[in-house]
Copies of this chain bind each other. A is one copy, B any other.
Amino acid sequence: MGAFAIGVDLGGTNLRVAAIDQTGKQLETITTGTEVKRGRDSVINEMCLAIQSLANKYLDSRKLVGIGIGVPGIIEMERGTIRQAPNLPGWGDYPVKHEIEQRLGTTVFLENDANAATLGEKWLGAARDVDAVALLTLGTGVGGGIVIDGRIHHGMSGMAGEIGHMTVYPDGVVCGCGSHGCLEQYASATAIKRMALEAIGTGKAPELARAMSENPEFSAKIVYQLATQGDLQAQEIFHKVGQALGIALASLVNIFNFPMYVLGGGAASGWDAFAPTMFKELTWRSVVYRSVVASDAPGHKKTIITNALLGSDAGLIGAARLPLQAAGL
């Protein structure tokens, strides 16, 4: 009899629950209409119902090893609570892990969503053939996760992997974290839009200005479309994205010497607009990157920088992986 786990992606907007077997096969996924903003108790109830329904459905043919839940916040591992989750008001100090374990009688693993996504990409995605990887998620912010020896690196209090808050430009743009010049201020979808608005403000970006006036949903995606159509101002923005990513990746490669670094999240789909600058910057800045590329000696492989493969499923898949991994599967 095979085993399966249930993964939960408690996103900022809605809730997804999937049953995934030990080979990574997604047996079934439920996307609930539950809006996270309706509040904690409502979300917990919906989550437990969805988990229970999936569990009951597959329990006959497989053994349920546990539940993994990815959440947009910092996890108190020892207490099984969530803290510093601005998108989950009312969840702080609530014993999430304990409560769900009580209700469902199964082991629950809480994990930060970026960490879960990294584990997902390591299990079934871009990083499935390597043992160590860093994931950078270019979304509203820049999230990060680190996997070493196949397992999430948590650090002493579960806060490791804040790659989006590496300093890239010491005197750069103010960041929500309190610092200046964080990677997130140059490589997130939010940053791309901000840089476009700055360009429009100079009066020297007519195509960007037109796109904004024509489209109330002006976004990083539209800036990317203009860049691919040859608009120089839009291209300049992605050049800046590539530069910031190259600087941060050069430091990461010099520090970790991992075989792979993966870029995910919505803004990573602007790859062909930022990647040439990113690789150029990375190459001249990182002695480790160049060295590994250059050497033909055995054991010296090229450092791979690549796109994530699992899209928005990465966190869900990684969450399900947690109980499977803990069970040695």
A255 lies within 8 A of B301 (CB)? no
B257 lies within 8 A of A154 (CB)? yes
A179 lies within 8 A of B76 (CB)? no
B251 lies within 8 A of A159 (CB)? no
B77 lies within 8 A of A299 (CB)? yes
Q: Does any Cβ of B come within 8 Å of A177's Cβ?
A: yes
Instruction: Write the A238-262 contact mask toward B (1 if CB under 8 angstroms, else 0).
Output: 0000010001001110111111000
Given known contacts A78-B299, A84-B291, A170-B168, A257 and B155 CB-to-CB distance under 8 angstroms = yes
With a cutoff of 8 Å between Cβ atoms, the chain B residues found around residue A292 in the complex are 156-157, 159
B165 lies within 8 A of A286 (CB)? yes
Q: Does any Cβ of B come within 8 Å of A57's Cβ?
A: no
Q: Number of copies of this chain in the oligomer?
A: 2
With a cutoff of 8 Å between Cβ atoms, the chain B residues found around residue A250 in the complex are 167, 179
Kindly state the separation between the CA atoms of A299 and B146 in the bound complex, as whole angstroms. Answer: 20
Nearest B residue (CB) for A76: B297
B300 lies within 8 A of A157 (CB)? yes
**Count of residues in A whose CB is under 8 Å from the partner chain:** 58
Nearest B residue (CB) for A244: B170
Kindly state the separation between the CA atoms of A288 and B250 in the bound complex, as whole angstroms. Answer: 21
Instruction: Write the A70-88 contact mask toward B (1 if CB under 8 angstroms, else 0).
Output: 0000101111000110000
Q: Does any Cβ of B come within 8 Å of A166's Cβ?
A: yes
Q: Does any Cβ of B come within 8 Å of A127's Cβ?
A: no
Nearest B residue (CB) for A158: B257
A146 lies within 8 A of B300 (CB)? no
Q: Does any Cβ of B come within 8 Å of A162's Cβ?
A: yes
With a cutoff of 8 Å between Cβ atoms, the chain B residues found around residue A159 in the complex are 257, 288, 291-292
A251 lies within 8 A of B285 (CB)? no
B167 lies within 8 A of A258 (CB)? no
With a cutoff of 8 Å between Cβ atoms, the chain B residues found around residue A300 in the complex are 157
With a cutoff of 8 Å between Cβ atoms, the chain B residues found around residue A58 in the complex are none
Binding site for B on A (CB under 8 A): 74, 76-79, 83-84, 132, 144, 146, 148, 153-163, 165-170, 177-180, 243, 247, 250-252, 254-259, 284-288, 290-292, 295, 297-301, 303
